[in-house]
Structure 1
């Protein structure tokens, strides 16, 4: 057994000293009890012939032997117990020190027979370390992805502008519209990042008002239908009559991201925007006819910068931010976004409270 230091040593010494004092106190207590009996009730116990009440040499030897045995057993048990208590604490401390030095792969080690609290401590620490490593990896991935998404339009803008300066391209309306398209793409990327960051920081502001959802969905359909028809899609609107308290600017933004996602990745089909009204919730679906998401990607589809494999019929790759924005807007409303399959059809949906919860209303007003 390794020599214990620090807390383990204190535990072992304290338990050993406590056991020795217990034996000594027990002997003294018994002696005092017999002394009282001899003094006040002499007829109960026979006196020694010499009248001496002090412990004899054999009695002292027995006392020393018993104390030594008890001390040996207690210290042995204390050392084992202290080792089981201190070992996971030392492992957690060592792993925490390595993480503070930048080694995010460090984990605390634990035996299978640890006490419940110690095992829970090690498990919680390792879960925290896993999360910390995942966040650090995500930050690196996000930075690389943001740089990649910004580089392409910036390169096009720089090339076109240099071409205009050198006289390679003439600054006509067609060229300016191409540049404007790249600028709009950059603006949308920045806005998507802003929305996701606002949700992460808890500062997304919603302007909830009572709206006629059927009318809002119909107006949204009129807005996106020309672009869908141009891409080979048709559009069907299935609105639900009724009132709801929503931030329709954000809801339209989420629906636009879902329609754009379908336009990028779904096969040309009749795209359906369905709204259903319940007593306490509103659900809006964007339904296409596939090919849908692979099973191994569906659970990660709403993560930041998540991108599946480009489908054969898909028109172009996106930034991987659209579905993250949809989820952020849904969560800001107190709801969620999800993906599902209904027969041959696939859909992305927002499910949000129909009426603003008091806590969310107060939070939005305080921002």
Structure 2
């Protein structure tokens, strides 16, 4: 064994000058100069493994500590995507579909409470838009139908007069004029209904005596009731409080309700207009002993163009706008209106 000359590249360590004591597993390389061995390079594997083992343990510790937070972060991200990002993306997709005209687009309500509220509001908005679109199409179809009948009569009569089929006398001109009046009333009713629905109807509010207004409406319809064999009357208590309303519009509501009752009440029946004071106002009721309305149709009785007869004839008269106008006129003046069958 020789003496140690260099220890790990240094010449000033405690091992330098001492006899080399080998260890099991040392790697020995002979140092040869001009074919003569001048020394031996000894590699102590233990000295090389110690820093490697330390760094390996350090790296493993860092990797171990980083792995679980990474997995936790990934899981949280996936949960957030499932609960928030995915439903929100569905809302955005559905909103784009609605904007493109697909009003049937809906989103399943899921996720956090705030997101659920957003989805429910969106679905309600889409349902409202879809219902409005359906109502608009139905209204246009109803208007076209209501206009078609009088226009057809007017055209037929006028063409007959021009072709000489009918004489240009009162007998053949009066029906044309009646249809023109009918068209005029229809257009005016539609205009009034539109103004009331959009809250653009001008009102002149003042204290109103309901008893006087009711009595006037009954007097105007007495001749029609007598012609149909129907008794019409008004019941008013001695003291009726004044109401703040537009007398013209409120009178129109009363007239529409009475006209509707006269239209559908059979001969020999009775129509009663009654007024009663209530705790928070005044109740005005129009009642009759007619056949009533099926319970399934009561919710639709104030819809425009709705008539109980499924066939669109004018045998019973009316275009189906009177009660719709009455409802909106009552609403714009801060009142409520309903229909019910009396047992």
Using structure 2 for the length normalisation, give the TM-score: 0.77
Match of 2:294 in 1: 294
Cross-structure match for 2:341: 341
What does the per-residue CA deviation read over 1:201-220, in whole Å, with 9 as the maximum and x for residues that have no partner?
21111122333322221122
With over 3 angstroms needed to count, the CA separation of the structure-2 counterparts of 1:317 and 1:66, relative to structure 1, is farther
2:174 maps to 177
After superposition, where does 1:1-367 map in structure 2 within 5 Å? 58-111=57-110, 114-240=111-237, 241-268=240-267, 269-278=269-278, 280-309=280-309, 315-316=315-316, 318-343=318-343
Contact 1:264/1:315 (8 A) holds in 2: no
With the length of structure 1 as denominator, give the TM-score of the two structures: 0.72
Structure with the greater alpha carbon radius of gyration: 2
SS in 2 for 1:338: coil
Normalized per residue, the structure richer in helix is 1
Q: Give 1:47's aligned residue.
A: none
Cα deviations across residues 115-147 of structure 1 (Å, max 9, x unaligned)? 212222222111111111111111111001001
Where does the alignment leave 5 or more consecutive residues of structure 2 unmatched?
Answer: 1-53
Shift of 1:315: 4.7
Matches of 2:236 and 2:173, distance apart in 1 = 39
Counterpart-to-counterpart distance in 1, 2:146 and 2:160: 22
Q: Distance in 1 between matches of 2:252 and 2:168?
A: 33
Q: How many Å apart are 1:260 and its aligned residue?
A: 2.0
1:252 alignment partner, SS class: helix
CA–CA distance in structure 1, aligned partners of residues 155 and 296 of structure 2 = 39
- Relative to structure 1, is the Cα distance of residues 242 and 286 closer, same or farther in structure 2, using a 3 angstrom cutoff? same
Q: 1:221 to 1:317 in 2, by over 3 A?
A: closer
Report the CA distance between 1:246 and its aligned residue.
2.3
Tell me: higher relative CO, structure 1 or 2? Use CA pairs within 8 A at least 6 residues apart: 1
What SS is found at the alignment partner of 1:287? strand
Q: Is the 8 A contact 2:253 2:325 kept in 1?
A: yes
1:51 is matched with which residue? none
SS of 2:291's equivalent?
A: coil
Would you identify which runs of 4 or more consecutive aligned residues in structure 1 move more than 6 Å?
none
Q: Distance in 2 between matches of 1:170 and 1:81?
A: 83
Compared with structure 1, are the counterparts of its residues 176 and 209 closer, same or farther at alpha carbon in structure 2 (3 Å cutoff)? farther
